[in-house]
């Protein structure tokens, strides 16, 4: 799921495979993807790949529309206290499934598939990346073939969007094909899936492309675009070349620093959408230097967030709404982040006992103020941010060295973030659209158990997180999350840098494309190509 701190996108060098035009006629769309999936079973995927192939091949119980509202998918209604789908104590949710939905082999989709998929997620035999939200479920039952009831360990409102919903990487899988298997890790299904979504797999040319055909039996109606081709192009320069030449029609999640090039591509338009992603510096609060709030505040005050974001992303990312990338609809703009004030930063350090020494680097009790910033290579914007911030920190007497990691190594269970083997990190976080941020801030989620990698623990924040999660009323929840934002702005376990906007390039004659919340493929069933 998105909450597992998954990268927005990974850029890597690639060997360009020469292709001929791929338009295939007016009813085919060719969309570049940056990374080939390891499988087409979303329970084995994370982040962008999970969302992409879930939206194409499978169905959820509920999903998000482009305005951030939960809407039915396989469920007939989104459970609420008002419609009786949520019990009075907030611990029991009931989903009523649509009748007549079928898997692509003709088998009906029923509650048995939902129960199977939940159990597959929770089974230790399966290599699922994480179980956030699903581990809040105490029991699950199917009173009849088209009803699913879940009982929670505690009232937990985020479950509506997490239980096979818009914030979940995990859609519903077919019990009749996988239910008897000891595990799903290496099953043939992972390369030849059978779904219930708008498209079915046509072919997978390993190392090059995946091709899909419209599902004629899709419950919401056959998609307008009959064929979808997804070539794997990891390099943005190659993607831009092929957009210009017409070898591909569209590409998503492109490098914001190339916005001028993208806007110059003929017969295409650029769609820029603020999304629940954000850049932030994370401080390891177990570190004896960074456990000092004065040092963290000075570090944040030295960063020209507006200037750097404007220069590096050409104004595409927003330095004033970084916490909106985490809190979405509960964002409170009055929770002010530290301004750019290097003079105040220097004064704070001096008062804290850090005195300028040789070469301008500050010293305290004979120890230089040397800090290390760790980040993943491959994302050019990250490297440019890191290099620029190192120069700004040096200007106030902080010697900031840079430690680059391979992205997979950086994010692995044994990597520096989760294990706490770092002082400061810079990372492009992908959050959920629901503003429950327990995964990032709760005391019981401190790494390596969870994704609270700064090891931040605040009793008041924990109480507010519980308050927000226990209510199904949006205004009550927003009030709790607003208070958390003010605590973050004061305590600074993170120095928020900017909110990320997704940059998508689509052909001018594509209609029905909705600005993405978490995946541009969310609206694919409504896409259609019109005559130019």
Assign residue 19 a region (left: φ > 0; alpha: ψ between -120 and 50; beta: otherwise): beta
DSSP 6-57: --S------PPPP------STTEEEEEBSS--S-S-GGG--HHHHHHHHHHH
- The pLDDT score that the predictor gives to residue 377 is 87
Query: Residue holding tokens 């295409």?
Result: 268
> C-alpha angle 520/119/153, rounded to 5°?
90
Same domain? 156 vs 78: yes
Residue 204's φ and ψ, nearest 5 degrees, are: -130, 105
Same domain? 161 vs 284: no
Contact 32, 242 (CB under 8 A): yes
Paired residues of 70 in beta bridges: 64
E strands, 160-267, where? 199-205, 209-214, 227-231, 250-251
> Which residue from 495, 269, 284 is spatially nearest to 386, judged by alpha carbons?
495
In what side-by-side order are the strands of the sheet with 92-96? Answer: 92-96, 147-152, 137-144
Spatial distance between the Cα atoms of 379 and 357, rounded to a whole number of angstroms: 35
- The pLDDT score that the predictor gives to residue 28 is 96
Same domain? 432 vs 524: no
**Rg from Cα positions in the chain:** 24
- The pLDDT score that the predictor gives to residue 340 is 98
- The pLDDT score that the predictor gives to residue 372 is 98
Contact 521, 51 (CB under 8 A): yes
Same domain? 289 vs 408: yes
Burial 201-229 (b: 16+ CB within 10 A, else e): beebeeeebbbbbbbebbbeeebbbbbbb
Q: What's the domain range around 328?
A: 274-502
Spatial distance between the Cα atoms of 185 and 371, rounded to a whole number of angstroms: 41
Query: Residue holding tokens 């993405």?
Result: 516
How many CB atoms sit inside 10 A of residue 290's CB?
A: 21
- The pLDDT score that the predictor gives to residue 532 is 67
- The pLDDT score that the predictor gives to residue 66 is 87
Same domain? 131 vs 31: yes
- The pLDDT score that the predictor gives to residue 349 is 98
Spatial distance between the Cα atoms of 527 and 218, rounded to a whole number of angstroms: 14
Same domain? 221 vs 345: no
- The pLDDT score that the predictor gives to residue 18 is 31
> Which residue from 230, 229, 222 is spatially nearest to 104, judged by alpha carbons?
222
Instruction: Split the chain (532 residues) into runs of 10 and give each run's mean pLDDT.
Output: 38 32 63 95 92 96 93 97 97 98 98 98 94 95 98 97 95 98 97 98 97 97 97 94 97 95 97 97 98 98 98 97 98 97 98 95 96 90 97 98 93 90 96 96 93 96 97 97 98 98 97 93 95 76
Which CATH number covers residue 403? 3.10.105.10
Contact 442, 452 (CB under 8 A): yes
Same domain? 256 vs 401: no
Same domain? 192 vs 280: no
Same domain? 493 vs 348: yes
Query: Residue holding tokens 């680097």?
Result: 361
Token pair listed for 324: 């909106």
Total domain count, the chain: 2
Same domain? 285 vs 385: yes
- Contacts for 16-25: CB closer than 8 Å, 24+ residues apart: 16/233, 16/235, 16/238, 17/207, 17/208, 17/231, 19/231, 19/242, 19/247, 20/247, 21/246, 21/247, 22/229, 22/231, 22/247, 22/248, 22/249, 23/246, 23/249, 24/227, 24/229
Same domain? 398 vs 263: no
Contacts of 69 (CB under 8 A, 6+ apart): none
Which CATH number covers residue 195? 3.40.190.10
Same domain? 47 vs 195: yes
Spatial distance between the Cα atoms of 92 and 99, rounded to a whole number of angstroms: 22
């Amino acid at each position: 799921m998105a909450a597992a701190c998954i990268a927005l996108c990974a850029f890597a060098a690639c060997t360009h495979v020469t292709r001929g035009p791929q338009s295939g006629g007016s009813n085919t769309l060719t969309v570049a993807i940056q990374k080939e999936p390891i499988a087409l079973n979303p329970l084995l995927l994370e982040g962008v790949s999970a969302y992409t192939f879930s939206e194409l091949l499978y169905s959820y119980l509920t999903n998000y529309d482009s305005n951030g509202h939960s809407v039915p998918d396989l469920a007939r209604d989104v459970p609420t206290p008002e419609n009786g789908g949520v019990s009075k104590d907030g611990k029991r949710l009931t989903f009523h499934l649509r009748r007549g939905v079928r898997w692509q082999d003709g088998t009906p989709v029923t509650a048995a598939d939902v129960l199977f998929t939940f159990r597959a997620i929770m089974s230790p035999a399966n290599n699922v990346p994480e179980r956030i939200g699903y581990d809040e479920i105490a029991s699950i039952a199917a009173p009849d073939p088209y009803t699913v009831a879940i009982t929670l360990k505690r009232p937990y409102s985020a479950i509506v969007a997490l239980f096979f919903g818009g914030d979940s990487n995990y859609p519903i899988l077919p019990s009749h094909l996988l239910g008897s298997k000891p595990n799903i890790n290496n099953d043939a299904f992972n390369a030849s899936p059978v779904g219930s979504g708008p498209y079915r797999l046509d072919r997978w040319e390993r190392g090059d492309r995946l091709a899909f055909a419209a599902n004629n039996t899709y419950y919401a109606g056959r998609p307008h675009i009959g064929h979808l081709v997804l070539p794997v192009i990891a390099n943005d320069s190659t993607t831009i070349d092929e957009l210009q030449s017409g070898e591909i029609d569209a590409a998503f999640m492109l490098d914001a620093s190339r916005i001028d090039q993208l806007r110059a591509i003929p017969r295409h338009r650029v769609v820029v959408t603020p999304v629940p992603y954000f850049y932030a510096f994370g401080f390891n609060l177990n570190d004896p230097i960074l456990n000092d709030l004065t040092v963290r505040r000075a570090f944040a005050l030295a960063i020209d967030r507006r200037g750097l974001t404007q220069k590096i992303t050409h104004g595409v990312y927003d330095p004033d709404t970084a916490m909106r990338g985490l809190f979405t609809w509960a964002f409170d703009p009055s929770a002010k982040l530290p301004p750019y004030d290097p003079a105040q930063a220097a004064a704070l350090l001096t008062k804290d006992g850090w005195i300028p020494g040789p070469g301008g680097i500050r010293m305290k009790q004979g120890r230089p103020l040397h800090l290390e910033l760790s980040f993943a290579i491959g994302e050019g914007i990250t490297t440019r941010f890191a290099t620029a911030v190192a120069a700004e920190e040096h200007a106030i007497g902080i010697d900031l060295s840079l430690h680059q990691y391979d992205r997979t190594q950086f994010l692995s269970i044994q990597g520096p973030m989760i294990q706490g083997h770092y002082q400061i990190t810079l990372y492009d976080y992908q959050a959920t659209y629901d503003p429950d941020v327990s995964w990032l801030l709760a005391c019981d989620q401190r790494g390596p158990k969870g994704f609270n990698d700064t090891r931040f623990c605040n009793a008041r924040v924990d109480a507010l997180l519980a308050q927000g999660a226990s209510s199904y009323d949006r205004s009550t929840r927003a009030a709790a999350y607003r208070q958390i934002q003010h605590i973050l702005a004061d305590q600074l376990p993170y120095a928020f840098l900017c909110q990320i906007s997704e940059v998508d390039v689509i052909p001018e004659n594509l209609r029905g494309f909705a600005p993405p919340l978490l995946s541009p493929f969310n609206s694919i069933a409504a896409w259609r190509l019109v005559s130019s």
